[in-house]
């Protein structure tokens, strides 16, 4: 498995490409779609972090997952009506595990955002899909990318800026959640058609976060303005990036898609600077570049999966 085959942490690869085509984005170059999707995703994360003084991370995660679940379940509503009848308990348990990994990943990365800069958190989180890609490929040359990514993370941890170790730990946990999400996403996709598995997993993830999100959010969740902003976070972080990525995948090789997605840590860092005033040291920027190069290298040196050009 290459990074190109990896579903994103805020959406997922699957059977909604037909809906994405309805967005009339055919005239936009695929690299531009990828960049716009990454920007939308990270602006959503930056907006969420900006609200942490009014809403705790778990409450914002709840809003985000609820938005995704509602949209996905609406689009897959016909297929969902027959899920309980047509699938075994094992398949449903797999989809539930998929949803729990989605919930853990989002909760962990938002807790990380609370404590360390956006770009640093996303860079560390990227170790999850990088590890899955390298373990699956087993190419000797991938040792180079492991060493480069490891050097980048060590530089981040020791590169100044008084990084909170708890924030780093949460980012690593988010990376573990992303890795589990990737593996469970692939397994779920084999058992459920189209977007059904992803929709079911999103509903499970939202339900799992519901108690902690409601308790931590309290009365603030009844504020119409905050609810509206939370909806905006969900749209920016899930609906828009997912649609743009699906349209781009239709018209570009999966390997190229993976290389472009490797820019996400840099975009996260720039959004942190622009929206949140998160100034990074020169050493931290170099560390982020190391991880980006490692992710791009692991993807670029791989082989496109069958049919990648027709994704």
- Return the pLDDT at 44: 93
Proportion of the chain in helix, strand, coil states, percent, rounded to 5: 80, 0, 20
Alpha-carbon distance 120 to 285, whole Å? 9
Q: How many CA atoms lie within 13 A of 135 on its CB side?
A: 9
Tell me if 23 is assigned to some domain: no
Residue 304, phi-psi category: left (phi > 0), alpha (psi -120 to 50), beta (remainder): beta
Tell me if 19 is assigned to some domain: no
Is residue 45 within 8 A of residue 235, CB to CB? The reply is: no
Tell me if 12 is assigned to some domain: no
Tell me if 22 is assigned to some domain: no
In tens digits, what is the pLDDT along the chain, a chain of 311 residues?
445 455 555 454 444 444 444 445 667 888 888 899 999 999 999 999 988 988 899 999 999 899 888 888 888 777 777 776 767 778 888 888 989 999 999 999 999 999 999 999 999 998 888 888 777 776 777 788 888 888 888 888 776 557 889 999 999 999 999 889 888 887 887 777 767 788 888 899 999 999 999 999 888 888 898 888 888 888 898 878 877 877 787 787 777 777 788 889 999 999 999 999 998 888 889 999 999 998 888 776 554 443 333 32
Cα dihedral 94, 98, 99, 104 in deg (nearest 10): 130
Is residue 197 within 8 A of residue 121, CB to CB? The reply is: no
Is residue 249 within 8 A of residue 242, CB to CB? The reply is: no
- DSSP letter at 194 equals T
Angle at which helix 127-137 crosses helix 118-125, to 10 degrees, equals 20
Note if the pTM is more than 0.75. yes
Tell me if 287 is assigned to some domain: yes
Tell me if 149 is assigned to some domain: yes
Alpha-carbon distance 297 to 309, whole Å? 19
Tell me if 17 is assigned to some domain: no
Query: How many domains, the chain?
Result: 1
Domain range enclosing 272: 29-310
Tell me if 18 is assigned to some domain: no
Alpha-carbon distance 230 to 222, whole Å? 11
Residue 57, token pair as written in the block? 């991370």
């Amino acid at each position: 498995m290459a990074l190109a085959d990896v579903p994103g942490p805020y959406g997922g690869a699957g059977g909604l490409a037909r809906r994405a085509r309805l967005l009339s984005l055919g005239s936009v170059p695929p690299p531009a779609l990828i960049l716009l999707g990454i920007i939308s995703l990270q602006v959503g994360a930056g907006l969420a972090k900006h609200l942490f003084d009014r809403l705790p991370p778990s409450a914002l995660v709840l809003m985000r997952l609820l938005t995704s679940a509602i949209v996905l379940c609406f689009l897959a509503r016909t297929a969902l009506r027959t899920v309980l009848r047509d699938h075994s308990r094992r398949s449903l348990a797999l989809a539930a595990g998929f949803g729990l990994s989605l919930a853990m990943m989002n909760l962990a990365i938002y807790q990380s955002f609370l404590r360390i800069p956006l770009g640093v958190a996303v860079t560390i989180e990227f170790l999850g899909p990088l590890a899955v890609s390298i373990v699956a490929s087993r190419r000797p040359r991938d040792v180079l990318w492991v060493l480069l990514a490891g050097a980048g993370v060590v530089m981040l941890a020791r590169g100044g800026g008084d990084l909170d170790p708890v924030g780093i730990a949460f980012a690593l946990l988010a990376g573990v959640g992303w890795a589990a999400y990737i593996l469970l996403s692939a397994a779920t996709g084999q058992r459920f058609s189209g977007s059904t598995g992803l929709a079911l997993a999103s509903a499970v993830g939202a339900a799992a976060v519901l108690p902690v999100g409601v308790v931590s959010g309290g009365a603030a969740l009844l504020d119409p303005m905050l609810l509206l902003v939370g909806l905006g976070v969900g749209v920016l972080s899930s609906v828009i990036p997912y649609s743009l990525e699906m349209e781009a995948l239709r018209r570009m090789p999966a390997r190229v898609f993976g290389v472009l997605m490797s820019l996400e840590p840099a975009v996260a860092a720039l959004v942190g600077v622009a929206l949140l005033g998160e100034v990074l040291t020169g050493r931290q920027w170099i560390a982020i570049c190391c991880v980006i190069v490692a992710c791009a290298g692991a993807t670029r040196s791989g082989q496109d999966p069958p049919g990648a050009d027709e994704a």
